[in-house]
């Protein structure tokens, strides 16, 4: 609030002027416009960042295959009583029967015919074949990518049974 004194001759008049808070100034309008521009220009960048993060969270088939191959290989190394069928493999480790089989478009692991642990996804087809002291696995993903691996067990050398 502004107070001014105006004198005219012998009488004094007070002139007061209050600031009007209902309107915007040019500076306020430019500041608001720049904030809106910054927010609207950053939305596509944030969306691109979220899609990149989402893409990176899904592991490539290579990593998923290696993890599956390594875990089956380590279990099979300690296995006894290995039974190989074209669409499944079962073996006994520490008194528990472990079974790997196809379930829909995935390979699942079951222990003592219980549970449902998906260990490999998007599998189109796979086969297990017996080789000397091991198993050969041919696998094809839904994308058409083919991988294969050999899994060896040494129970026959250590006194266990073999297929």
For residue range 87-145, list pLDDT tens digits in order.
Answer: 888 899 888 999 999 888 899 999 998 988 999 888 888 888 888 888 888 888 888 88
Query: In this structure, what are the phi and psi dihedrals at residue 130, rounded to the nearest 5 degrees?
Result: -80, 135
Residues 14-61 pLDDT 10s: 655 666 666 668 888 889 999 999 999 999 999 998 888 877 777 677
What tokens does 7 get? 């004198």
3-state helix, strand, coil in the chain (%, to 5): 35, 45, 25
Q: Where are the domains of the chain?
A: 2-57, 61-158
Segment 59-87, tens digit of pLDDT: 677 888 888 889 888 888 888 888 888 88
Pairs from 140-147 (Cβ < 8 Å, separation ≥ 24): 141/61, 142/105, 143/61, 145/61, 147/61, 147/65
């Amino acid at each position: 609030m502004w107070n001014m004194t105006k004198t005219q001759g012998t009488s004094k008049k007070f002139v007061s002027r209050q600031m009007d808070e209902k309107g915007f100034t040019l500076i306020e309008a430019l500041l608001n416009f720049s904030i809106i521009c910054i927010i609207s220009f950053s939305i596509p960048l944030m969306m691109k960042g979220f899609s990149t993060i989402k893409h990176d969270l899904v592991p490539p088939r290579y990593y998923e295959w290696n993890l599956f191959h390594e875990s089956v290989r380590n279990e099979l190394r300690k296995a006894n009583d290995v039974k190989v069928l074209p669409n499944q493999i079962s073996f006994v480790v520490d008194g528990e029967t472990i079974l790997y089989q196809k379930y829909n478009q995935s390979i699942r692991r079951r222990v003592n015919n219980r549970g449902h642990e998906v260990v490999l996804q998007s599998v189109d087809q796979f086969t297990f074949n017996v080789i000397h002291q091991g198993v050969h696995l041919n696998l094809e993903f839904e994308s058409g990518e083919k991988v294969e691996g050999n899994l060896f067990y040494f129970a026959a050398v250590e006194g266990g049974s073999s297929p």
